[in-house]
Amino acid sequence: MFKVNEEILTDEEDVNKYHEFSRLNNELATAQREIIKKKVELEKLNASKDQFLGMAAHDLRTPLNGIVSLSNLLLEDTIELNEKEQLEFLQMINSSSKHMLNIINDLLDISVIETGNLQLNFEKVEIVSFMSRIINVNKIMASKKALQIVFDYDDTQEVLIDASKIEQVINNLLGNAIKFTYPNKKIFINLSILDQDLIITIEDQGKGIPEAELDKLFKPFSKISTKGTSGEQCTGLGLAIVHKIIESHKGKINVESKPGIGTKFIISLPRDAG
Ligand SMILES: Nc1ncnc2c1ncn2[C@@H]1O[C@H](COP(=O)(O)OP(=O)(O)OP(=O)(O)O)[C@@H](O)[C@H]1O
Ligand SMILES: [Mg+2]
């Protein structure tokens, strides 16, 4: 005997049907809840994609506007420009185009990473000479701001990494250190080997990052209140790419920063991530 809504089911077949019905009803309710949850997630993703596209378009529009205006001035015959002015305009067009290309390359990198298609090509690298080469290239940029790069290490090792991706990471972090530090200061790069991990720190004596803004640092377009110390461009994509590359190597990246004192990024990478 079974009681449903004050009605008494006596037939065993009816009781079984009722149980089956209840089970299906529960499953349906669970499926409905799941669909609502997925819908909310998709709406959130869609909103962040729109925001992402809006910011990308905005960042591309500024240099593109510059290119259009400067090239218009070069093409118009109403304004007489001497050779020096023409050259200056062309240099500005060239630098705006390069900036746009950098943004587009970063956006493409982020899209490859986000869709889970980041392919790593592991190779054996002798880490000290690898780092020295990257640092030497960056020294040219640093010297323009009279910044000294000090590289320190106790030992060298062969490590298994995707060399071009890790080069991108170091270039980004060192590029930031140069961009956000005032002239005549130092940038310290330290390399150490701890058990199975490779620890790389990049420390600057720059503007620093306010504590409240540290959380969003590794998210795309995380442009925060700090700007380059010589008016350098800020897009806010570099650290999002850095974070994903380090994650894909099964490594970790942390940051310590004090406004007015400086910033230190600490990377820890397994020596054999392949
Ligand atoms: N070493 C640093 N010192 C001070 N602020 C920093 C430092 N590194 C990053 N930041 C802050 O974090 C923000 C995000 O850095 P990120 O490298 O992602 O972008 P970006 O340098 O602005 O642009 P890009 O996409 O060209 O790298 C920067 O805009 C800056 O405000
Ligand atoms: Mg950067």
Alpha helices in 180-255 (DSSP H): 238-248
Report the nearest atom of ligand 1 relative to the CA of 206: 3
Ligand 1 pocket mutation pick from 176, 217, 227 by most atoms within 8 angstroms of CB: 176
User: Quick check: helix, strand or coil at residue 238?
Assistant: helix
- Average pLDDT of the segment spanning 118-139: 94
Band of residue 46 on the pLDDT scale cut at 50, 70, 90: confident
Distance 264 CA to ligand 1 centre (A): 12
Residue 111 pLDDT greater than 90, yes or no: no
Q: Global pTM?
A: 0.78
Band of residue 5 on the pLDDT scale cut at 50, 70, 90: low
Residue 32 pLDDT greater than 70, yes or no: yes
- Average pLDDT of the segment spanning 7-30: 86
| Residue bearing the CA closest to ligand 1, atom 25 | 237
pLDDT exceeding 90 applies to what percent of the chain? Answer: 65
More confident site: 225 or 45: 45
Q: What is the mean pLDDT of the chain?
A: 90
CA distance 17 to 2: 12
Report the nearest atom of ligand 1 relative to the CA of 262: 3
